[in-house]
Structure 1
Amino acid sequence: MSYKNFPMVPRVIFGRGSFNQLNEILAPKRLSISAPFIYLIDDVFKNNTELTSRISLYYDDEIVFISTNEEPKTTQVDELVEKIILNTKARPSGIIGIGGGSILDLAKAVSIMLTNEGEAKDYQGWDLVKNPAIYHVGIPTISGTGAEVSRTTVLTGPEKKLGINSDFTPFDQVILDSELTKDVPKDQWFYTGMDCYIHCIESLNGSYLNSFSQSYGEKSLELCKEIFLDNSANISDVEAQEKLMMASWHGGMSIAYSQVGVAHAMSYGLSYLLGTKHGIGNCIVFDHLEEFYPEGVALFKEMKMKHNIILPQNVCAQLSNEEFDIMIDVALSLEPLWENAIGKNWKKTITREKLKALYQKM
C-alpha cells in the first residue's frame, strides 16, 4: 500500500508579539533589490497603523490592501498575478498574506500562479500544480479556518468552488501571533471558530479517519469546547485567543490525512451561488445536519445559544429550481468530502432530492 507523503509548513513561530520578527525573517529571503516582497493585507487594516507601521518596506516592496467582502475568486487571483508581473522588474522575493482565511488563500494561490502558466481556474482540483510556488508567508489575524496550515486554497471559479489542492500550496513560513486577533468582531470570531469546530466534527466522524488525523482533531475539538463552552472564556481573553489559534492549527492538520464532510460540501454550494462567506455558510448548513452529526450539532446549538448568535434564516427561500440545481451540482462535485462523510457508496443515499430538501430548510 502506498501512503500519501504530505508536506507541512516547514517553519512556524508562535507567541504574542512575534509579528515584530517578520522583518528579520524576510531579510535573508530577499533575492535581489529588484525582487520585492508583496504584502497582501485585509483592508480592515488600511487605517490601522499599529499593524502597518511594523512592516518595513524596502526597494520596490509593496502593500496591496484587499477587500474580503466576497470570497476569493480565481479571477481575482489572475488579476493580482497580472498586476504583480506588470509592476515588478523581477519575480517577487515572496508573497506575505496578512488576514483571515480569504487573504491567506489568495496569498497561497498568487504564489503558485506566479510560477505556473494559465489561469487559476485551471488548477482547481487535486495535484494539478506542476511547479513549486514562490516563497510565501501566512500571518493569520483571525483564527479558525486552518488556512495557515492546509494544502488547499479555496477559490470560487467560473464553474465551481474548489481549492487548489497541491503539495506546493502550504506556506513556507507561518507567524502565529494571537495579539493580531484581539479586535475581531464577535460574530466573526464565532463563525470562524465554528469553521474550526466543524472541521473537527467532520474529520473525526469520517471514513478517512486514522490516528494521525484523530490525534490533531481530538485536541482541536477539546480546545474548541474550552473556548466556546467554558464560562470563563470570552473573545477578549488572551488565553482564549491563544487556544483558538492552536485549535485552528490542529484543526487544519487533522484534515491533512482525512477530509471534511457534509457541511463543507453544502456550504460550497451556498457560497458559489449566493456569495455566502465560508464560516457563516458552514454554520447555516451545520445547524440542519442532525441526521449526519447528531452530537456535534447538539453541541453547536448549545454554543450558539451561549454566545447569543442568531443565524440568518430562509437564505434559500426565494430560490428557483435552476438555482437549487446550481448549488446541488457544486456540492455533489466534491466527491472526496461525501466519501469521507458517508462512505464509498454515498451516491446511493445522497440524491439531488435529498440535498434540495436540506437546502430548503436553510
Structure 2
Amino acid sequence: MTEQEGHAIVEQLQRWGDELGFSQIGVADVDLSDAEAGLLDWLDKGFHGEMAYMQSHGLKRARPQELVPGTVRVITARMDYLPRHTAANWRSHEWQRLHTASEAVVSVYARGRDYHKVLRQRLQQLAERLQQQVGPLGFRVFTDSAPVMEAELARRSSQGWRGKHTLVLNRQAGSLFFLGEIFIDMALPLTAPTSSQGHCGSCQACIDVCPTQAIVAPHVLDARRCISYLTIEHAGPIAPALRPLLGNRIYGCDDCQLACPWNKFATTSRLPDFDARNGLEASSLAQLMRWSEADFMQRLEGSPIRRIGYERWQRNLAVAAGNALRDNALSASVRAELLHNLNAWSVTASTLVQEHVDWALQAS
C-alpha cells in the first residue's frame, strides 16, 4: 500500500463514518508507552475504587497490540449525543433542574438508547465496509467494553484534548460525545495528534463546580468521590458524608460538562437514538419512585440505566428524596408524596435500600 493509497482509504473511512452518524474518524498508533506511568500511578492511589477491571487488565489498557495481537493501528471514532431537538439554552435549563430539589436528574447521555449498542453496531458496519474494500482484515470493535485507553487514543488521532475533568474536549463540539475504536492489523496513515496541553488554559471551572470535589488535580479524577461512579459503578451503600452532595442526581452527573465553556459548542446528534425516552429529561423524584421493578425493567429496556438494576435505582432515588426532604423550599404536597413513597418501600426494601430509606426519613 502506497502512502497515497493509505490516505485515500482514510478519507473513505471518514466519508463512511459521516454516513453512519459519526462526527469524526481518526487513526492512532498503538504505542502508548508514555501513558503507562500515569495509569499505574492512578491505580496505585486506588482512584479506580471498586472498578477492579481497571486494575485486573494491568498494562493491557496501554498496550493495544497485547489486547488484540496483530494490531498495528486503532481507528478512533466519536459520536455526538446531545439530543436532536435540544434548545440553545439547554445548559441553563439543566442548572435550573439541578437546583429544583423535587426533580430527578439523569445524565444527558443516559436518557436515550444505550450508546454501547448504537456505536458497536455502526463501528462494526464501518469495519466491514473497510474489509470489503481492502480484502482480508483483522479487526475488533470496542465501545467502552474492554481495557482501552479511549481518551488517550482519541487525543492521539485528532479527536480532541484531555480536559482538566479528564474527558476529551473538541474545539468544535465540546465534550458531549461518545468514543469508540476499531483495532486493525493494517498500517493506515496516522492522523495528527492534538496537543496534550489542550486549550483549557487557566480555566478550572470543572474542578471548582464538582459537588464532591472528585477532580483532585487537573486531569486527575478520584472516581471514589465522583457522582457518576457512586450512582452507577458503586454497588454498596453510599457513604453518609457524600449523600447530601449528590443532591437530586440519580444517575450520573454532568456538572463538570455544564460548567465547561467549551460546551457552548456542543453539537446535537443526527441520530434519534439519543433522544430522551420515558420523560427522563423532565421527570420528578415522585414520578420515578412510583415505578415498580417491572416498570423499571420494561420502561428502560434498551437503556444504559437498566444495567444498574432496580436495587441501585431505588438506593439513588432514596438519597435524592432525602436531600429533597431537607430542602425548606419543598412544597407540602411533594413532601407528603416523597414520605409516602419512602414508607411504602420500607415494606419490601432490601437491606441496602432500607439503609438509604432510613437516612432519607431522618429528614422528616
TM-score (norm 2): 0.32
Between Structure 1 and Structure 2, whose CA radius of gyration is higher?
2
TM-score (norm 1): 0.32
Which fold has the larger relative contact order, with Cα–Cα distance below 8 Å and residues 6 or more apart in sequence? 2
